[in-house]
Amino acid sequence: MEAQAVKSNLVLILDFGSQYTHLITRRIRALNVFSLCINGTSSLKSIADLSPTAIILSGGPHSVHAPNAPCFSPEFIDYVESNNIAVLGICYGLQLIVQQMGGEVKVAGKHEYGRMEIVVDKAEGLFGNKKVGDRQSVWMSHGDEAVRLPEGFEVVARSQQGAVAAVENRRRRFFGLQYHPEVTHSPEGMDTLKYFLFDICGITAGWTMEDVLDEELKVIKSTVGPEDLVICALSGGVDSTVAATLVHKAIGERLHCVFVDNGLLRWRERERVMETFERDLHLPVTCVDASEQFLSKLKGVTEPEKKRKIIGSEFISIFDSFGHELERKLGKKPTYLVQGTLYPDVIESCPPPGSGRTHSHTIKSHHNVGGLPKDMKLKLIEPLKLLFKDEVRELGKIMGVPQGFLKRHPFPGPGLAVRVPGDVTLGNHLDILRRADEIFIQSIKDAGIYDAIWQAFAVFLPVLTVGVQGDQRTHSYAIALRAVTSQDGMTADWYCFDQKFLAELSTKICNEVPGVNRVLLDITSKPPSTIEWE
């Protein structure tokens, strides 16, 4: 789905670096309104090309007084006013509106962080559905505050300390909240967002996954020529499978899928995945065993980013060879390559607002967005690139992808290479990890908690530890277990297992996996860590 395909009711979020920015996107989509997030410093043309109905300026870690503080384009205010577009600034976004429109922002005498109570001063505009004197708990996180408002603006709510909590200029359609309505710590925040979208902006809640399906089918059919051949890189995960099903629905047998065994798959993954493709999804899939090719290129490589780049490059090499084989058989070169890139993949490959960089400070490169060669001959089709994981699952359900497959935990494109720190080809590290991971996942399923967890997996730690097994001293490896809960993968919390479950699981892994004498549990959230280890 291309952003330009959304003709009306688009809520555009300008990202100024808040850790909550993409939560705004999710909250609005949950209201059946399409929302999209772009860099806050994007050009006016980038904004105007999307024709937004409403714009939200996110929070951010910067001060509007700081050198090179991120800001919207100089023509932004004239553009939104001339097009009657309502603007809501949140936290840093509010301060930006105040400063850029002639008001004054100063360092606050008392910083406000965490839960605070605000009081409604005026029951109109953003609080048109409230009463004067109404109180609500909100989540504050700011060190600066608005001390003088631009002409025509008024305060509509204050914090319990008397600081400005909400401002607006209804005539010019500018609104601002000093707190974060998008977080669950602001219990009435969603009501305020709803009121802004539906009552102030007049937006209609009508965006559904059925609309996405219809729109994407049209886009694919209009993009791919009537005789063009398309290759799809199937990983066995939810994303690539839904993408393949979607394209297959649009162009039929002109789609040729390839599943690559790169030697970095989980226990019996190849057999399980191919069975699902052939028996349940009826997708035309060719399986290529390239495990020796991948592992030989990875031998001796320890740096995580280099491993990802090598894997991405080898995938493209295989797709290229597959394309030549198709040309030999069918007499025509493939034109397109389908990938299951998701919105979080795109987001994590973008430069942070206010960083001063034109290229990404990479959290991790994805072989589908960060590892493609510039001279690649195949054109890309990425039908899911504006969707979050839960939306992809909903889309797959509509198209009849089996529920059991849709509920599978995410599995990274580079496979187990990101779960074996260092050289993945040493000894039997991969085999040890596969066996431990299989026990972990099967135990979770047997306990009936698989669906309550966003992602779970084992990690091989290349560290020898001393243990005692069978009355003998051992010098074996440690396995770390990682399980998280999340909504879209952008943030995550570790899953709290029952202690008895962990005790039994640790014993099982140490008893059944040769070479392991210690099991650890990763209890780190995202942030500060990523979900995967590398």
Residue 388 in tokens = 């979050």
- Which residues participate in catalysis according to the annotation? 91, 180, 182
Distance, C-alpha 307 to centroid of its chain: 22
How confident is the model at residue 211, as a pLDDT?
87
241 is in an annotated binding site: yes
For residue 257, give Cα distances in angstroms to 201, 230, 241, 471, 505. Answer: 44, 8, 10, 52, 37
Rounded Cα–Cα distance for residues 383 and 247 (Å): 8
423 is in an annotated binding site: no
Q: What is the DSSP letter of 409?
A: P
137 is in an annotated binding site: no
Rounded Cα–Cα distance for residues 1 and 261 (Å): 29
Q: Please name which of 273, 531, 497 lies closest in space to residue 404, comparing C-alpha atoms.
A: 273
239 is in an annotated binding site: yes
The SS3 assignment for 451 reads helix
Residue 293 in tokens = 């090719």
How confident is the model at residue 231, as a pLDDT?
92
CB 227 within 8 A of CB 270: no
Number of residues that make up the chain: 534
How confident is the model at residue 471, as a pLDDT?
67
The type of residue at 109 is: G
235 is in an annotated binding site: yes
Identify the burial level of 488 via C-beta atoms within 10 angstroms of its C-beta, where 0-12 means exposed, 13-18 middle and 19 or more buried. Answer: buried
Return per-residue pLDDT of the chain as tens, 534 residues. Answer: 454 444 568 999 999 988 788 889 889 998 999 998 899 999 999 999 999 999 999 998 888 888 888 999 999 999 999 999 999 999 999 999 999 999 988 876 565 667 888 899 988 888 888 899 889 988 887 678 888 999 999 999 998 877 889 999 999 999 999 999 988 888 888 999 999 999 999 999 988 899 889 989 999 999 999 999 999 988 888 999 999 999 999 999 999 999 999 999 999 999 988 988 888 888 889 999 999 999 999 999 999 999 999 998 898 889 888 889 999 999 999 999 998 888 777 766 655 555 444 333 333 444 444 445 555 578 889 999 888 888 999 999 999 998 888 888 988 889 999 999 999 999 999 999 999 999 999 999 999 999 999 999 999 999 999 888 776 788 899 999 999 998 777 788 999 999 999 999 999 999 999 999 999 999 999 988 889 988
Q: What is the DSSP string of 471-515?
A: TEEEEEEEEEEEEEE-SSSSSBEE----HHHHHHHHHHHHHHSTT
238 is in an annotated binding site: yes
- Provide the sign of the torsion angle of the four alpha carbons 40, 342, 326, 217, taken in this order: negative
The SS3 assignment for 363 reads coil
How confident is the model at residue 105, as a pLDDT?
87
Residue 246 in tokens = 């979607």
How confident is the model at residue 360, as a pLDDT?
31
Q: Please count the other Cβ atoms lying within 10 Å of the Cβ belonging to residue 370.
A: 17
529 is in an annotated binding site: no
How confident is the model at residue 142, as a pLDDT?
65
